[in-house]
Amino acid sequence: MAPTLPANSKLDGIKGMTPALQGRLAKLGIVNVQGLLLHLPLRYLDETRITPIRELRAGEQAQVQGEIVHAEVQYRPRKALICRLRDDTGQLVLRFLHFYPSQVASLKEGKHIRAFGEVRGGFFGWEMVHPQCKQAEEDAPVADALTPLYPTTAGLSQATLRKWISWALQQADTAEILPPATYQALGLPAFADSLRQLHHPEPGVDLASIESRDHLAWRRLAFDELLAQQLSMLKHHARRRHQGAPALAQSKSLVTALLRSLPFALTQAQQHVAVEISRDLQQSHPMQRLLQGDVGSGKTIVAAMAALQAIENGWQAAIMAPTEILAEQHYQKMQGWLAPLGIQVAWLSGSQGKKERREMMAAVEKGEAQLVIGTHALFQDQVVFKRLALAIVDEQHRFGVQQRLSLRQKGVQPHQLMMSATPIPRTLSMSYFADLDVSVIDELPPGRTPIVTRLVSDARRDEVLERVQQACMEGRQAYWVCPLIEESEALQLQTVTDTYESLRETFPQLRVGLVHGRMKPVEKQAVMAAFSAGETQLLVATTVIEVGVDVPNASLMVIEHAERMGLAQLHQLRGRVGRGAAKSSCILLYQDGKLSETARARLRIIYESSDGFAIAQADLALRGPGEFMGVRQSGLPMLKIADLERDQDLLESARDIAAKLLEQVPQAAEAHLARWLGHAEELVKV
């Protein structure tokens, strides 16, 4: 009978599968038959050959067969079980530093065993430390395929894993789903063959290529995984086109009026993305567009133009920001731009009194408030819109993927514009973000002077203090950013207050401000307002000022313990200066002598580059995609087999093939998704 168990079958109810075993498998991310099939070995043991002891070479992995001729437990220099194994050609010492009584029993004098391990030269000739041993007579057959070593977890033995994975290989339906032309054109083998080759490679196979994961069998599975992801993204995209959204006619008066009131003209890039967005808003299905632009590229004005298109059509728009500080700043800016046009801008803030808040909410519900601004958190409580047509999410990367989802599901389908200063590297935007349309502002407004970045050892703190003093005496302003202390928020708070006190002592003549995440929203606002107005000259801050804050007169930033921060974060922070005409600089203070290699590499990148895209790409290479987009925090499963960097060519092919498959062989597309479901199911939600 042909194996027929569908790959997405759950493991419950399968004979021999206990809840305890299921729990351990789940720890490895294995929840269905496909999970077993795709749990691929890390390495292999070659137990297909028996090497005569005389032919052993140091550093090699080998299997030997022989009789134990001597065994004893030694106590000096430390406790160890020492056995001497003899075959026709020589002798070998087996050494165990940790062992069970059962091992002592099975490795007694006179026993015939096979031992597998790494050979090294010891004091008494060849030896193996902690070899894997099993009882075997000389004529017992050897393995006919390499033995897989799987990633595992406590309480789950290699033997059990091997047994269940072999079971899955026998029982599961691994018949080919894709038209052979699709994978053959890429030079890839069939699905079932690939699985077999990876789990049980035949002797003589190119192990190095399998273990480094560029073997064709690996590539086939990576391709399938990417294809499943692409298919689900395409379906998601298509589903959205079937949802209704208000079609918003192009603005005739408000946008023109806004642009006329500005002291500057839009850059080419801003004009270009504004057109793309305006075109999307005219459609009767919801826009899902990501607006990317480096810090300071001028995304806010583009957002205002989009909001006006909604408002002119009689609808409401909302802007969500990740922090109170940023929401407040957006409110000030929008109020300044839009109030003169007669637009009602409402602001929802944690610092508002209950009464004021209630009034604002009522205005939103009645539709009187045309543009509503607040933090994302606030929008999640009970804000009811009368007619919301456009939701703008600023600094999207700070929200993570999960929040993007919850917002999308709110109420009627508004158009959605997401803005991010953290550029998404191409491989990521082609995979996890493939269901979004992307606009890019690839040009900074004219007249910006580049920021000079300096790496300064903490030992030269005095010079840095002098620089701060000088900048402030010349009428400019400075930020002093305190280190991120991930382990303890209390410690971080302590550090920032200590720094504040000490800087106030150092600079009695300067007006110094303090802002951190633990302050009440009203307090934060007051501090930021004072800094914006130039009343304070030096602002001591935690990384709460990381995103969006715009004070053009600030021209110097000092970042302490820069080595602890991520690249994207440093780039964001640095983007807080260099916003005006004055020459700006960013000083990265680091603890000399304590720098790890990675930290050094990171600082070098931020020092050498001011291009957000290049930095993001380097960050991705250093940290991997999960951390990069905060995807990991949101619990989203990552690609398990494919690696976006290594398999970029497959990603491109998968994208093209997914589109063709859906169109030409939709049943194959569905079957492929079904097989990869449970795995790909989660990817669909992105």
Q: Which spans of this chain sit near ligand ADP (rule: CB under 6 A)? A: 264, 266-267, 270, 293, 295-301, 421, 445, 548, 550, 579
- Contact of residue 39 among Mg ion, ligand ADP, none (CB under 5-8 Å per partner type): none
- Between 64 and 302, name the residue whose CB sits nearer to Mg ion: 302
| Smallest separation (angstroms) from Mg ion to the CB of 326 | 8
Task: Say if CB 590 and CB 561 are below 8 A apart.
Answer: yes
- Between 332 and 499, name the residue whose CB sits nearer to ligand ADP: 332
| Smallest separation (angstroms) from ligand ADP to the CB of 294 | 7
| CA 61, chain centre distance (Å) | 37
- Between 39 and 330, name the residue whose CB sits nearer to ligand ADP: 330
DSSP, collapsed to helix, strand or coil, labels residue 84 as strand
| Smallest separation (angstroms) from ligand ADP to the CB of 395 | 8
| Smallest separation (angstroms) from Mg ion to the CB of 300 | 5
Per CB under 5 A, the segment of 79-87, 233-241, 357-365, 546-554 that binds Mg ion is 546-554
| Smallest separation (angstroms) from ligand ADP to the CB of 274 | 11
DSSP symbol at 457: E
Instruction: Count the residues of the shown chain that bind Mg ion, applying the rule CB under 5 A.
Output: 1
- Between 9 and 300, name the residue whose CB sits nearer to ligand ADP: 300
- Between 453 and 499, name the residue whose CB sits nearer to ligand ADP: 453
| CA 17, chain centre distance (Å) | 34
DSSP string, 555-623: EEEEETTGGGS-HHHHHHHHTTSS-SSS--EEEEEE-TT---HHHHHHHHHHHH---HHHHHHHHHHHH
- Between 390 and 661, name the residue whose CB sits nearer to ligand ADP: 390
Residue 322 engages Mg ion in binding (rule: CB under 5 A)? no
- Contact of residue 332 among Mg ion, ligand ADP, none (CB under 5-8 Å per partner type): none
| Smallest separation (angstroms) from ligand ADP to the CB of 405 | 24
- Between 330 and 679, name the residue whose CB sits nearer to Mg ion: 330
Residue 612 engages Mg ion in binding (rule: CB under 5 A)? no
Residue 293 engages Mg ion in binding (rule: CB under 5 A)? no
For residue 393, what are the CA distances in angstroms to 211, 326, 518? 43, 12, 24
| Smallest separation (angstroms) from Mg ion to the CB of 573 | 14
End-to-end CA distance of the chain: give it in Å, rounded. Answer: 39
Per CB under 5 A, the segment of 54-62, 523-531, 545-553, 589-597 that binds Mg ion is 545-553
For residue 467, what are the CA distances in angstroms to 173, 463, 473, 506? 69, 6, 10, 13
Residue 548 engages Mg ion in binding (rule: CB under 5 A)? yes
Instruction: Go through 268-283 and write b for each residue having 16 or more CB atoms within 10 A of its CB, e for each that does not.
Output: ebbebbbebbbebbee
DSSP symbol at 341: G
- Contact of residue 554 among ligand ADP, Mg ion, none (CB under 5-8 Å per partner type): none
| Smallest separation (angstroms) from Mg ion to the CB of 299 | 5
Per CB under 5 A, the segment of 253-261, 511-519, 544-552, 609-617 that binds Mg ion is 544-552
The torsion angles phi and psi of 297, rounded to 5 degrees, stand at -80, -10
Q: How far apart, in whole angstroms, are the C-alpha atoms of residue 663 and residue 657?
A: 10
DSSP string, 381-400: TT---SSEEEEEETTGGGTH
- Contact of residue 188 among ligand ADP, Mg ion, none (CB under 5-8 Å per partner type): none
Task: Say if CB 326 and CB 421 are below 8 A apart.
Answer: no
| Smallest separation (angstroms) from ligand ADP to the CB of 621 | 24
- Contact of residue 293 among Mg ion, ligand ADP, none (CB under 5-8 Å per partner type): ligand ADP
Q: Which residue is nearest to ligand ADP (CB)?
A: 298
| Smallest separation (angstroms) from Mg ion to the CB of 274 | 15
- Between 131 and 296, name the residue whose CB sits nearer to Mg ion: 296
Task: Say if CB 34 and CB 191 are below 8 A apart.
Answer: no
DSSP symbol at 536: -
The torsion angles phi and psi of 660, rounded to 5 degrees, stand at -65, -45
- Between 319 and 657, name the residue whose CB sits nearer to ligand ADP: 319
Helix (H) or strand (E) holding 467: helix 461-473
Q: Among residues 156, 158, 168, which one has the least CA distance to residue 38?
A: 168
- Between 552 and 630, name the residue whose CB sits nearer to ligand ADP: 552
The token pair that represents 457 in the structure block: 């050892």
User: Using CB under 5 A, which residues numbered 61 to 100 contact Mg ion?
Assistant: none
| Smallest separation (angstroms) from ligand ADP to the CB of 469 | 26
As to burial, measured by CB atoms within 10 angstroms (0-12 exposed, 13-18 middle, 19+ buried), residue 411 is exposed
β partners of residue 114:
65, 134
- Contact of residue 82 among ligand ADP, Mg ion, none (CB under 5-8 Å per partner type): none
- Between 213 and 299, name the residue whose CB sits nearer to Mg ion: 299
Q: How far apart, in whole angstroms, are the C-alpha atoms of residue 217 and residue 37?
A: 13
- Contact of residue 215 among ligand ADP, Mg ion, none (CB under 5-8 Å per partner type): none
Does the N-terminal peptide bond of residue 77 adopt cis geometry, omega within 30 degrees of 0?
A: yes
Which residues contact Mg ion by CB under 5 A?
Answer: 548
